[in-house]
Structure 1
Amino acid sequence: MKENILGTLKNLNFTEYEAKAYLALLEESPLTGYAAAKNSGVPRSKIYEVLDSLAMRGDILVSPGNTPQYTPVPAKELIKNRRKKAEENFEQAEHLFENFERSSNDRENIWNITGRSEILEKVKACICSAKKRILLEIWKEDFSELEFELRNAANRGVIVTIIAYGEIVSDCANVYLHDMSREITEEYEGRWLVFSGDDSEVVAGIVSLGKDSRAAWTMHIGLVMPITEVMIHDLYLLEIMEKHRDILEESFGENLIHLRHKFSIHPDFKKHYVK
Structure 2
Amino acid sequence: MSIINKLKEMNFSENEAKIYITLLKYGKSTGYEISKYSGIPRSKIYNHLETMLSRGVIEINSTEKVNLYRAISPDELINLSRKSLNNTLNSFEELVKNIPLINDDEEIWEIEDYNSLILKFEEIISNAKNSLYIQIWSEELNEDLTNSINKKIDEIEKSVVILYDKNQKYKTNLKKYFAHGFEMERLEDMSNRWISVIADDEIFLYGGILSDKDVSGVYTRNKFLSFFAKEYVKHDAYCLKLIDKFRSELISEYGKDMKEIRDIYS
Q: TM-score normalised by the shorter chain: which range applies?
A: 0.5 to 0.7
Residues 144-194 of structure 1 deviation map (CA, whole Å, 9 limit, x = unaligned):
262132234345x13442111124455554211111124433443321111
Q: Do the aligned partners of 1:207 and 1:214 also contact (CA within 8 Å) in 2?
A: yes
Aligned equivalents of 2:219 and 2:113: distance in 1? 13
Q: Check the 8 A contact 1:164/1:177 in 2, yes or no.
A: yes
Listed one character per residue, the Cα deviations across residues 104-159 of structure 1 (whole Å, up to 9, x for unaligned) are: x2xx211111122221111011111101222111111111262132234345x134
Query: Which residue identity does 2:245 align to in structure 1?
Result: K
Residue type of the alignment partner of 1:235: A
Q: Distance in 2 between matches of 1:256 and 1:102?
A: 44
Normalised to the residue count of structure 2, the TM-score between the two structures is 0.55
Specify whether residues 204 and 197 from structure 1 end up closer, same or farther in structure 2 by C-alpha distance, changes over 3 A only.
Answer: same
Q: Residues of 1 paired with 2:265 and 2:179: CA distance?
A: 22
Q: Any idea what SS the aligned residue of 1:111 has?
A: strand
State which of 172, 177, 180 in structure 1 corresponds to 2:179: 177
- Is the CA contact 1:206–1:215 (under 8 Å) kept in the aligned structure 2? yes
Q: Does the 8 Å CA contact 1:139/1:191 hold for their aligned counterparts?
A: yes
Native 8 Å contact 2:125 2:148 kept in 1: yes
Q: Specify whether residues 228 and 249 from structure 1 end up closer, same or farther in structure 2 by C-alpha distance, changes over 3 A only.
A: same
- Per the normalisation by structure 1, the TM-score is 0.53
Say whether residues 1:235 and 2:257 are aligned partners.
Answer: no
Structure 1 gaps, min length 5: 1-89, 265-275
* Aligned AA (2:139): E
Q: 1:140 to 1:246 in 2, by over 3 A?
A: same
SS state of the match for residue 246, structure 2?
helix
Preserved contact between residue 154 and residue 172 of structure 1 (Cα < 8 Å): no
2:137 matched residue in structure 1: 139
Of 222-231 and 208-217, more deviation after overlay is shown by 208-217
> What does residue range 205-220 of structure 1 map to in structure 2 within 5 Å?
205-220=207-222
Task: Indicate the residue corresponding to 2:103 in structure 1.
Answer: 102
1:251 to 250, 253, 260: 253
Identical aligned residues as a percent: 23
What SS does the aligned partner of 1:174 have? coil
| Bigger mean CA offset, 110-119 vs 230-239 | 110-119
- For residue 196 of structure 1, what is the aligned residue in structure 2? 198
Shift in CA distance, 250/209, structure 1 to aligned 2, threshold 3 Å: same
Instruction: Tell me the distance in 2 between the aligned counterparts of 1:177 and 1:164.
Output: 5
- The answer to whether residue 160 in structure 2 is matched with residue 161 in structure 1 is yes
Please name the residue that 2:150 is paired with: 151
Unpaired stretches in structure 2, ≥5 consecutive residues: 1-95
Cα 1:197–1:209 change in 2 (3 A) is same
Matched residue count: 166
| Matched residue type, 2:117 | I
RMSD: 2.6
Alignment-derived partner of residue 75 in structure 1:
none
Q: Check 1:173–1:111 CA distance in 2 against 1; reply closer, same or farther (3 A cut).
A: farther
Greater C-alpha radius of gyration: 1
Residues 161 and 176, structure 2, Cα contact 8 Å, conserved in 1: yes
- Give the corresponding residue for 2:124: 126
Name 2:50's counterpart in structure 1: none
